[in-house]
Amino acid sequence: MRLKDKVALVTGSASGIGRAIALKLAQEGANVAVADLNLEGAKETAEEIKKLGRKTLAVKVDVVKKDEVQAMVDAVIKQFGKLDICCNNAGVSTMNAVVDLTEHDWDFNMDVNAKGVFLCCQAEAKQLIKQGSGKIINTASMGGKHGIPFLAHYCASKYAVIGFTKSLAFELAKYKINVNCVCPGLVKTSMQSREIVWEGKLRGMTPEEVLEDYVNMTPLGRLEEPEDVANIVAFLASPEADFMTAQAINITGGIETN
């Protein structure tokens, strides 16, 4: 096991990509703190981690609130005594044409996707600096590397995550802390289930036609699974990636980005 006795914190891990990351890190030997706004969902993920024989902790957190983020990190340190791997995965999306976007749409995406990553990284970095080591892995998106119709605000937030990740990596390198982000493509999650309905209405297509379009635009010929992302996160969290930092890793099944 590559991560035996490491302590990991994964936000947005009640479901989807975050849940897959939390379980994969546990399978690799890590003890995992499961953080999410949905506490019941976080507890369900934590129960699965217990079945793998790892220690765990379920924490409710709103990543846009600084005091809750700090309380989350404090709870992890109190429970486990250290923090080795920080996966800032909590994210949201809405979809609309720019001319119809509301300020709420913009603020909601930027707050959770960008500000949330900033607040989590800030609190985590202070602890990792004290320890003199650690891994931070943020979830960005292929939408952080190229524009996507009806997702301009979401793309803006994910571009921010990539720029922030790379900048933070340079600041923390002297403390032997690696900071990277992953850029998933078209991942089969509950978020995607909502998005294909929205996109279908905006493009005059059925959800089934949207899904078929997604598969057709993916060179590997299938939708991405949350586990596809989790596998790369586990690598970045491992000693095998000790010489990687300031990277934004595509996990898109071959979909090209700029």
Which residues neighbour 236 within 8 Å (Cβ) at sequence distance 6 or greater? 135, 137, 178, 180, 182, 244, 249
Which tokens belong to 97?
């044409």
Q: What is the pLDDT of residue 1?
A: 86
Query: Which pLDDT score, from 0 to 100, does residue 155 have?
Result: 98
| Beta-bridge partners for 248 | 181
- Statement: residue 195 has pLDDT above 90: yes
pLDDT value of position 46? 98
In the chain, where the domains are located: 7-185+226-251
- Report which residue type is found at 140: A
Check residue 166 and give its pLDDT. Answer: 98
Kindly report each contact of residues 4-7 with a partner whose C-beta sits within 8 Å and lies 24 or more positions away, as own/partner.
Answer: 4/28, 4/29, 4/30, 5/29, 5/30, 5/31, 6/30, 6/31, 6/84, 6/85, 6/237, 7/31, 7/32, 7/33, 7/76, 7/80, 7/81, 7/82, 7/83, 7/84, 7/85
Q: Mean of the per-residue pLDDT values for the chain?
A: 97
At 243, the amino acid letter reads: F
Q: How many CA atoms lie within 13 A of 13 on its CB side?
A: 35
Structure tokens at 44: 């369900």
Taking alpha carbons only, the member of 145, 100, 113 closest to residue 248 is 145
| pLDDT tier at 27, thresholds 50, 70, 90 | very high
- Which of 196, 161, 253, 225 has its CA nearest to residue 16? 225
Which tens digits make up the pLDDT trace of 71-127? 999 999 999 999 999 999 999 999 999 999 999 999 999 999 999 999 999 999 999
Region label for 15, one of left (φ > 0), alpha (ψ between -120 and 50) or beta (otherwise): beta
What dotted CATH number matches 7-185+226-251?
A: 3.40.50.720
For residue 184, how many other CB atoms are within 10 A of its CB?
A: 22
Annotated catalytic residue within 154, 159, 175, 214: 154
Q: Is 214 among the residues known to form the active site?
A: no
Return d(Cα 185, Cα 188) in angstroms, integer.
10
Helix (H) or strand (E) segment spanning residue 230: helix 226-237
